C-alpha cells in the first residue's frame, strides 16, 4: 500500500509569484484535503476535493485553488503569493465511505515566500 506523497519537499518563491503543489493520494482513497500549517500552529483547512470537484472550503481567498484528477491525485495552486503564505502545506487523503473518516497525511511541502 502506497502512502500519501507530496512534491516538492521544499520551495522558495518570491512575493507575487504563483506556485503549484502536488499530492498523490493513498491507494484506494478518493478524497483529498489540503491544509496550511503556519509555524507553531495547527493545520488550517483550505479545501477538499472529491471526485474531481471541490467538496468544501475553509476561510482562504480565491487565489488558493485546486484540482483533482481522475486518478485522485491533486494540485494546490496559489496565485499572487504573499509573505504570509509561507507555511507547511499538507495533503491528506481519505475515503468517502461512512459518516466519519480518517485522514492520512503526506509529509508536506515547505513553502517559503521572500
Partner 1 sequence: AQSVSQHNHHVILSEAASLELGCNYSYGGTVNLFWYVQYPGQHLQLLLKYFSGDPLVKGIKGFEAEFIKSKFSFNLRKPSVQWSDTAEYFCAVNPDSNYQLIWGAGTKLIIKP
Instruction: Tell me the HSE value of 50 on the side-chain side, using a 13 A CA sphere.
Output: 8
Asked, as a colleague might, if the bond just before 16 is cis with ω within 30 of 0, I would say no
Q: Does 66 bind partner 1 (CB under 8 A)?
A: no
CA 9 to chain centre: 13
Least distance between partner 1 and beta carbon 18 (Å) = 25
Nearest approach in angstroms of CB 41 to partner 1 is 5
Binder among 1, 2, 9, 40 for partner 1 (CB under 8 A): 40
> Contact with partner 1 (CB under 8 A): which of 58, 67, 75, 95?
58
What is the C-alpha to C-alpha distance for residues 10 and 20, in angstroms, rounded to an integer?
Answer: 12
Q: Which of 18, 41, 79, 112 binds partner 1 (CB under 8 A)?
A: 41
User: Which one among 28, 56, 79, 82 touches partner 1, defined by CB under 8 A?
Assistant: 56
SS3 content of the chain, % helix, strand, coil (to 5): 5, 50, 45
What is the C-alpha to C-alpha distance for residues 59 and 42, in angstroms, rounded to an integer?
15
State the nearest-atom distance from the C-beta of 66 to partner 1, in Å: 13
Binding site for partner 1 (CB under 8 A): 4, 33, 35, 40-45, 48, 55-56, 58, 90, 92, 99-108
Amino acid at each position: 500500500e502506497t502512502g500519501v506523497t507530496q512534491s516538492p519537499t521544499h520551495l522558495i518563491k518570491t512575493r507575487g509569484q504563483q506556485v503549484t503543489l502536488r499530492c498523490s493520494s493513498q491507494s484506494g482513497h478518493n478524497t483529498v484535503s489540503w491544509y496550511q500549517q503556519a509555524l507553531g500552529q495547527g493545520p488550517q483547512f483550505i479545501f477538499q476535493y472529491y471526485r474531481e470537484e471541490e467538496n468544501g472550503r475553509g476561510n482562504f481567498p480565491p487565489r488558493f485553488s485546486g484540482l483533482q484528477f481522475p486518478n485522485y491525485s491533486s494540485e494546490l495552486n496559489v496565485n499572487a503569493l504573499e509573505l504570509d503564505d509561507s507555511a507547511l502545506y499538507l495533503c491528506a487523503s481519505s475515503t468517502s465511505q461512512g459518516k466519519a473518516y480518517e485522514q492520512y497525511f503526506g509529509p508536506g511541502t515547505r513553502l517559503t515566500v521572500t
